[in-house]
Amino acid sequence: MISSELPVPAGELKRFEIRNGTVVGETSEEDALHFAADFQGLRHFGQKIGEALDLGPPWLGAFRETDFTHLWAYEGSATSASDPGNGAVITRHAPLVELLEEVFED
């Protein structure tokens, strides 16, 4: 059972907005640039896989390392590089569902 009330430690979560192809973050410009590089790489990789398998462009991308988790997703059914989206990096090995809930909470 997955609980939406799992704690996300303050200070470890960095949120980002994707607007008109630009990434803006709540923390530093350097964090936004790092997130943007990972976002572009994941999106490019997803596009290549989508083309090869005839699945279309990606609407979500994520990867987990031992010390952080990265996630981005477009809003609604958007898939264009200029469409709005949200993303986050958390400095721990987080469940993707938990992070997805954090990224899109109102």
Average pLDDT over residues 58-64: 88
What the chain holds in terms of domains, given with CATH numbers, is: 13-103 (3.30.450.30)
Give 94 or 22, the one with higher predicted confidence: 22
CA–CA separation, 61 and 64 (whole Å): 11
pTM of this structure: 0.77
CA–CA separation, 73 and 65 (whole Å): 18
pLDDT of residue 11: 44
Give the end-to-end CA distance of the chain in Å, rounded to a whole number: 22
Going edge to edge, which strands form the sheet with 69-74? 22-25, 13-19, 85-90, 69-74, 60-64
Distances (CA, A) of 84 to 6, 8, 21, 67: 27, 24, 8, 27
